[in-house]
Each structure stands twice: as C-alpha cells, then as structure tokens.
Structure 1
C-alpha cells in the first residue's frame, strides 16, 4: 500500500506534533518570538488619502503584534530566569568545593 504522505510531509507533521507535545512542557524561548514586520511608509499624499483606513488598520495590527512580541520576550526572559535560579540551586546543592 503506498504511503499517503511524502517523506518530507511526514517530517513536517512529526515536527509539528513534537512542538505541540514538547511545547506544553517547555516554556517560551526567544526563538519562539517573531518580531512583527513594520508597515511600509506611505509617502504619496494621494495614496495616503485614498487608503487612509486600510493604512490605519495595518498600523493598528502592527502595534498589536508588537505588543504580543514583547509579551513573548518577557515570557522567555522569565523562563530563562527560572532556569538560571534552578541551576544555581542545583549547583549550591553540590556542597562546598574540595580543597585542591
């Protein structure tokens, strides 16, 4: 029986499933945070006047995405801080360094 998905398609599916399963156990990292693309400046007055509403919506969406991006970075920073504190506690649990 032929496979329904190509090898590359199976790899993509496996990667997405792994991300979903592992992502629940792992916090955000800076690599999970994608900065938004800022709107292109519109310098032509006629275009600005004609598409004022659409341009405004694009900027509003950008500002919303920028806030989400900053929240993602804050979450990643918090997660790394917790990991660092956990590593410090583990290191301190090793006890005093031997004289040598």
Structure 2
C-alpha cells in the first residue's frame, strides 16, 4: 500500500511542480500567409521567421528536459521525506 501512495505522490509532484514552474516558454509558430503571391513576396522574412521558430523549438525542448530532470530529482527527495512522515505517523498510530 505504501508503495502505491509513494508512487502516486511522485507522479503528482512531478506533474504539479512542472505546471507551477513554467520557466520554459513555448514558441509561437510564425504566421504564414494564405496567398501564394504573399508567400513569394515575403519569402525572405518567412524563411527567417521559420528558422527562428525552429531555433526556439530546440531551446524550448532543452528547457523542458532540464526542468523535467530537476523536478524529477526534487520529487524523489520529497517522496523520501513523505515516506519518513508516513513512518512517523504509522508509528504513532500503533
């Protein structure tokens, strides 16, 4: 039973903390005109916007990978602390 509780806490913490941190900003896709003439007219700008977007996407993925690792480690520490709390509470209830 304790293992299931600890796993639940680990999962909830990793999801909850990641949602709270929000230091990684998701990139906004660039605007692409619908008209072929506009695409041709602004092709240089569109290429720059697309390349910048893909750079931002890579930066975003690196950021969330880092955040995930940090939160996972933190959740592991909190899980251990929670295990100690449960041990103390269970010892007092007997």
Give the TM bin, normalised by the shorter chain.
0.5 to 0.7
How large is the Cα RMSD of the aligned pairs?
2.0
Rounded to whole Å, the distance in 2 between the matches of 1:34 and 1:72 is 9
Q: Which consecutive residues of structure 1, in runs of 5 or more, have no partner in the other structure?
A: 1-28
CA offset at residue 90 of structure 1? 2.4
Where relative contact order (Cα < 8 A, 6+ residues apart) is larger, the structure is 2
Task: Please identify which structure carries the higher helix content.
Answer: 2
CA offset at residue 95 of structure 1? 7.4
Q: Residue 76 of structure 1 is aligned with which of 67, 72, 82? A: 67
| Counterpart in the other structure of 2:47 | 56
TM-score, normalization: structure 1?
0.61
How many residue pairs end up in the alignment? 72
Q: Provide runs of 4+ in structure 1 moved above 4 Å.
A: none
